[in-house]
Amino acid sequence: MKTIIIGLGNPILSDDSVGVLIARELKEKMDSAGQSDVEVIEMYAGGIRLMDAMEGYDRAVIIDAMVTGMERPGTVRRLSLSDLVTTRNTLSVHDMDLPMAMEMGRMLGVPLPSEVVIWGIEAKDVENFGEGLTEEVAASVSLTIELIVEDLHFSLR
């Protein structure tokens, strides 16, 4: 199954970078495990560009920060496109949210994944520029990677 893993977020905006940092670690694991049918990329663009990135894949995994205000920072949630809770960067300020971009893509005949999983990590600080994560969010990185790997049924050891 051709899979794309997308780490979303702003790499210099504190906890907003968590998706990108997780993707970097996942990429190392995938490379060393020789997972050739898995592509891992980093992005800081939602909406149409995010939809474009998924073209031609059977499965997409998106990792992104979220701010629901209802969870403790560092909480990890596995979401689908139909969930009402969304993460921070799947929506583009300048065009549309991801479900709408996907619907438009399908109308246009773009081959898009039948399975899209979004991993949301509750962020604490998304208002201050900085390259590090807050303690609570940093603590959830390893767990999230384990959850994603398990979910994908990869054996990386």
Partner 1 sequence: MKKISIDPITRLEGHGKIEIFLNDEGDVANTYFQVPELRGFEQFSVGRMAEDMPVITNRICGVCPEAHHMASVKALDMLFDVEPPPAAKKIRELVYMAFYVTDHTTHFYALGGPDFIVGPDAPPSERNILGVIKKVGLDVARQVIDCRARNHHVIEKLGGRGIHLAAGLPGGWSKSVSEEERKEIEEIAKKNIDFALFSLKIFDDIVLKDPVYLDLVASDIYLHKTYYMGTVDEKNRVNFYDGMIRITDPEGKELVKYHPKDYATHIAEHVESWTYLKYPYIKKIGWKGFVDGMDSGVYAASPLSRLNVSDSMSTPKAQEHFERMYETFGSRKVDGRYQPIHHRLATHWARLIELLYASEHMLELATDPEITSPNVRTIPGKIKGKGIGSVEAPRGTLTHDYESDERGILTKVNLIAGTTNNYAPMTMSIKRAAEKLITKGKVVEESLLNKIEMAFRLYDPCLSCATHSMPGKMPLTVHLRKPDGEIIRTFKRDGQS
State the first-to-last Cα distance of the chain, in angstroms, to the nearest integer: 20
Tell the smallest beta-carbon distance from residue 118 to partner 1 (Å). Answer: 10
Query: Which residues are at the interface with partner 1 (CB under 8 A)?
Result: 10-13, 43-46, 48-49, 52, 66-68, 85-97, 100, 103-104, 107-108, 126-130
Query: Looking at beta carbons only, is 44 or 154 nearer to partner 1?
Result: 44
Query: Looking at beta carbons only, is 87 or 134 nearer to partner 1?
Result: 87
Cβ-based neighbour number of residue 20 at 10 Å: 23
Tell the smallest beta-carbon distance from residue 154 to partner 1 (Å). Answer: 27
Token pair for 8: 């979303």
- Bridge partners, residue 117, by sequence: 61, 80
> How far apart are the C-alpha atoms of 23 and 144, rounded to whole Å?
10
Query: Looking at beta carbons only, is 53 or 152 nearer to partner 1?
Result: 53
